[in-house]
């Protein structure tokens, strides 16, 4: 007896076989992804004077280096802060050449013994955001030390990293170790206002002089608890790029008058509708290369269900991205350009219809999209509203490689200092001075060498900002290892040698 199958049954069998094969492929793909062997903590880490670095940070915080509105303000405090640094790090400053840029930004150039090596640039910003004393447990510029923390504005953002990067070299020099590669310490003075007068001008000078860098490192990703991703180890995130930045100005105009006789459409109503539609109708989610790289690096360490999803993210993208978009604001901003309404302005009195209503929306742009894409989207949503981009807008930065010796200088230094920690590239969701430095280096990385607890991370720009002193010590150790790995006993490669015109 011969059985014949209908065409529908054959199609069904074929579809079933296809999906069975696909699932088997995805399972095998997941199984073969194995974690790398962890590097044990380096037993040769230097002894760091904990009390000394705490006092250094405390002293640094006491200088009210608040970001100025423009470069014409009174900035004497920045010079005073620089004198404090010059007294605090005698071994570094004995040989370092100081260059002030556009008045208040400062570079300290520590000359290495081998001029054939491209230098590295270590960034930090001197400026801090303002601090109202209301709500603080201690005066915000006291630098008070208590309960193993240094309190004060700038203690995290980012005088802790500034102190750590200088003390790391100070400790290395105290051991009479020869520095072969030149180190540029570049300290801007207006990072909190987009770095227009500081970092941007520093880089313009580098471009003029034809100066290139082997490696640039700035604030950025930190060390976080991996349990949020189903990983029972800490994760160190290195920013290989950063999102773009644009402040949108929205204006709606209508006839002004008394609020007792409003027209069918008012400036405030038109503006409110536009803001609502922009916030509600977001731009589409998509993968960027740094996020894909992050999942590739973390997937081997995840537990089975999450590992399966992460390894097969290309095939399961239609499921993963909507979930990431809903899980938390942090996961959402990794896969989309964000629109955050921040300011509204209408009438000066509650019973007057304003002629003009204004709003500001802060946008962080995902790689693959541009300022023009953001403007086009906002204008499409906000009919009847004038939408413009304010000064200082930047497109997403170029993406630095997440492999190669320059990345390894940073990654291996992390692994040597922070035991049992996984290193992964990612996209820095904020902005930093380093966005300008892609013009003078192909290897720009953003990493803050501190374990960040959620509570302390929320204090940045807020009340009771503080820095854990034990973490400050680890930060000094990180920079010590970075200089040891990148600037001592360096094997010269052809690609490293300075290009001569």
Domain boundaries, given as residue ranges, for the chain: 50-223+399-496, 242-389
Does 242-389 match 50-223+399-496 at the fold level? no
d(Cα 169, Cα 136) in Å, to the nearest integer? 33
Contacts of 195 (CB under 8 A, 6+ apart): 125, 188, 433, 435, 436
Provide the CA 389 distance to its chain's centre, in angstroms. Answer: 22
- Reduced to 3 states (helix: H, G, I; strand: E, B; else coil), residue 20 is helix
- In this prediction, residue 40 carries a pLDDT of 61
- What local confidence, expressed as pLDDT, does residue 82 receive? 98
What does each C-alpha distance from 371 to 220, 391, 439 come to in angstroms? 22, 12, 19
Residue 213 CB burial class (10 angstroms; 0-12, 13-18, ≥19):
buried
The β-bridge partners of 352 are: 258
- Kind of pairing, strands 97-101 and 105-110? antiparallel
In a 10 Å sphere around its CB, with 0-12 CB exposed, 13-18 middle and 19+ buried, how is residue 494 labelled?
A: exposed
Do the beta carbons of residue 140 and residue 147 sit within 8 Å? no
Helix ranges (DSSP H) in 342-388: 371-381
At residue 501, the pLDDT reads 42
Give 382's DSSP letter: S
Q: Which residues, other chains included, contact 262 with Cβ-Cβ below 8 Å and sequence gap of 6+?
A: 353
Rg (CA), the chain: 26
Neighbours of 251 (CB within 10 A): 17
pLDDT at 43: 60
Instruction: Identify the DSSP state of 394.
Output: B
Place of tokens 């990612």: 426
- 273-325 pLDDT tens trace: 999 999 999 999 999 999 999 999 999 999 888 888 888 888 888 888 988 88
* pLDDT value for 495: 47
Instruction: For residue 295, give the nearest of 237, 218, 242, 223 by alpha carbon.
Output: 237
Which CATH number is associated with domain 242-389?
A: 3.30.70.360
Are 162 and 60 in contact by the 8 Å Cβ rule? The answer is yes
Query: Which residue positions in the chain have pLDDT lower than 50?
Result: 494-495, 498-501
Statement: 50-223+399-496 belongs to CATH 3.30.70.580: no
Cβ atoms of 187 and 165 within 8 Å: the answer is no
CA 450 to CA 60: how far, in whole Å?
Answer: 18
The vertex-268 CA angle with 267 and 272, nearest 5°, equals 120
Task: For the chain, count helices (H), then strands (E).
Answer: 15, 17
Residue 39 has a pLDDT of 59
Is residue 195 within 8 Å of 436, Cβ to Cβ? yes
In the prediction, which pLDDT does 499 show? 44
3-state class of 62 per DSSP? coil
């Amino acid at each position: 007896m011969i059985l014949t199958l209908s065409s529908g049954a054959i199609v069904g069998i074929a579809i079933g076989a296809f999906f069975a094969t696909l699932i088997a492929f995805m399972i095998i793909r997941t199984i073969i992804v194995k974690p790398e062997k962890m590097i044990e903590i380096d037993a040769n880490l230097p002894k760091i004077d904990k009390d000394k670095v705490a006092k250094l940070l405390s002293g640094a915080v006491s200088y009210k280096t608040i970001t100025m509105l423009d470069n014409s303000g009174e900035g004497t405090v920045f010079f005073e802060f620089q004198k404090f640094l010059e007294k605090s790090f005698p071994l570094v400053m004995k040989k370092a050449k100081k260059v002030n840029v556009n008045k208040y930004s400062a570079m300290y150039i520590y000359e290495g013994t081998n001029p054939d090596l491209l230098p590295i640039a270590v960034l930090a910003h001197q400026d801090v955001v303002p601090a109202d004393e209301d709500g603080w447990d201690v005066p915000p510029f006291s630098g008070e030390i208590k309960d193993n923390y240094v309190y004060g504005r700038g203690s995290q953002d980012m005088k802790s990293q500034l102190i750590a990067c200088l003390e790391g070299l100070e400790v290395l020099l105290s051991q009479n170790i020869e520095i072969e590669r030149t180190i540029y310490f570049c300290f801007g003075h207006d990072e909190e206002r987009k770095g227009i007068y500081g970092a941007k001008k520093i880089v313009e000078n580098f471009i003029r002089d034809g100066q290139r860098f082997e490696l640039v490192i700035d604030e950025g990703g930190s060390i976080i608890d991996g349990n949020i991703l189903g990983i029972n180890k800490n994760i160190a995130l290195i920013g290989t790029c950063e999102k773009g930045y644009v402040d949108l100005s929205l204006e709606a105009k209508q006839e002004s008058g008394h609020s007792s006789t409003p027209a069918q459409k008012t400036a405030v109503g038109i503006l409110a509708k536009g803001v609502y539609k922009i916030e509600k109708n977001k731009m589409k989610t998509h993968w960027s290369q740094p996020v894909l790289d992050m999942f590739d690096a973390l997937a081997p360490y995840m537990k089975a269900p999450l590992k399966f999803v992460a390894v097969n993210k290309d095939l399961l993208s239609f499921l993963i991205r909507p979930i990431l978009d809903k899980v938390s604001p942090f996961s959402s901003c990794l896969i989309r350009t964000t629109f955050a309404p921040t300011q509204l302005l209408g009438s000066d009195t509650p019973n007057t219809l304003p002629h003009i209503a204004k709003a500001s929306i802060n946008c962080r742009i995902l790689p693959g999209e541009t300022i023009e894409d953001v403007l086009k989207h906002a204008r499409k949503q906000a009919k009847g509203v004038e939408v413009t981009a304010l000064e200082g807008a930047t497109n997403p930065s170029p993406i630095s490689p997440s492999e190669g010796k320059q990345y390894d200088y940073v990654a291996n230094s992390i692994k040597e200092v922070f035991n049992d920690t996984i290193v992964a590239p990612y996209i820095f969701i904020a902005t930093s001075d380093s966005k300008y430095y892609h013009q003078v280096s192909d290897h720009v990385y953003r990493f803050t060498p501190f374990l960040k607890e959620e509570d302390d991370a929320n204090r940045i720009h807020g009340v009771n900002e503080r820095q854990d002193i034990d973490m400050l010590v680890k930060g000094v150790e990180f920079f010590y290892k970075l200089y040891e790995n990148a600037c001592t006993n360096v094997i010269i490669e052809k690609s490293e040698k300075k290009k001569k015109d």
